[in-house]
Amino acid sequence: MKIGVFSTFMSPLATPAMIRDFGRRSEEIGLESIWMGEHVALFDKNTFGYPSSKDGRIPVPPGGGMLDVTATFGFLAAVTSKVRFGTGVALVPQRNPIYTAKEMCTLDWLTDGRIDFGIGVGWNKEEVEACGYRWEDRGARCDEFLEVMRRLWTEPVVDFNGKWVKFETMRMDPKPIQKPHVPIIVGGYADAAFRRAVRFGAGWYGFNRDPEATKAMLVKLDAAFAKAGKTRGADFEIIITPPIGMPIDAMQAYAELGVHRLVVNLGSQRPERVGPRLTEIESLVKMAA
């Protein structure tokens, strides 16, 4: 099993020096990947709470904010050579699909094929609407945007006539290093998310899932494959971020479920906490070797 780390870098704690050292240390201890979540803006009031915290709020340091995924991965790529980078997850329905396609294939080009494009539809209604889109149709829009990106990554010239995107004879280069394109890793727990994983995904990503919850989600995933007349192949990756308090001996339970990657939550980014936490994660890397 491969071991990665999830860390949505936040100012003011995540300084350039901290991120640079974190990337180098992650590679030195043998971590397979670094994953980041995405929110372009936060709101004092939300229709729906953040699902991975008890109070419904993202734990951002006072006066701080979440760093941009694309820029941060570009920065990390310059100080590493082996570790992969994954978006966990990119909020596709509130993004511009043309710009997103360009960003991801450029990152793939500059990292020599070290990008995984984890995607989801998001939970923050206010953020989706502030980016200029409707909340209610975000699922259908996500599917169309993914189709646009997939075609731009794989076809020399593209014509597209969709509900939200229309263009003729468009070219986008360079193409991604990875073939057929940057891997799309679908996150989410609704039936629509599993259908999306079957249609577009090279894998499925579950966040904050213990082994029991992971097992239940895999049943739903396999049902979606069966409904599409398909079977989940061995090359379809299952990627899980466990609850932050997961004991080390739970790793075997994930392995028995067929999980390919555990992306362990870094937790606090305070300087005095990062080093000891990476030491804990290093022990997982050694156990998984």
With beta carbons less than 8 A apart as the criterion, state whether 111 and 79 touch.
Answer: no
Q: Domain 2-288 belongs to what topology?
A: TIM Barrel (3.20.20)
Give the pLDDT score at 181. 98
Q: How crowded is the C-beta side of 214, counted as CA atoms within 13 Å?
A: 26
pLDDT digits (tens, 9 = 90+) for 153-192: 999 999 999 999 999 999 999 999 999 999 999 999 999 9
**CA atoms of 284 and 281, how far apart (whole Å):** 5
Give the pLDDT score at 161. 98
pLDDT digits (tens, 9 = 90+) for 203-240: 999 999 999 999 999 999 999 999 999 999 999 999 99
Give the pLDDT score at 278. 95
Give the pLDDT score at 37. 94
Q: What is the CA radius of gyration of the chain?
A: 18
**CA atoms of 46 and 279, how far apart (whole Å):** 36
With beta carbons less than 8 A apart as the criterion, state whether 67 and 42 touch.
Answer: no
In terms of Cα–Cα distance, which of 95, 20, 51, 16 is closest to 206?
51
Number of CB atoms found within 10 A of residue 251's CB: 20
Instruction: State yes or no: pLDDT of 286 exceeds 90.
Output: yes
Query: What 8-state DSSP symbol labels residue 263?
Result: E
Give the pLDDT score at 249. 78
With beta carbons less than 8 A apart as the criterion, state whether 212 and 220 touch.
Answer: no
DSSP of 217-255: HHHHHHHHHHHTT----TTSEEEEE--TT--GGGHHHHH
Confidence of residue 29 (pLDDT cuts 50, 70, 90): very high
Give the pLDDT score at 267. 92
Confidence of residue 252 (pLDDT cuts 50, 70, 90): very high
Instruction: State yes or no: pLDDT of 92 exceeds 90.
Output: yes
Give the pLDDT score at 56. 73
pTM check: above 0.85: yes
**CA atoms of 122 and 134, how far apart (whole Å):** 12
Instruction: State yes or no: pLDDT of 285 exceeds 80.
Output: yes
Domain positions in the chain: 2-288
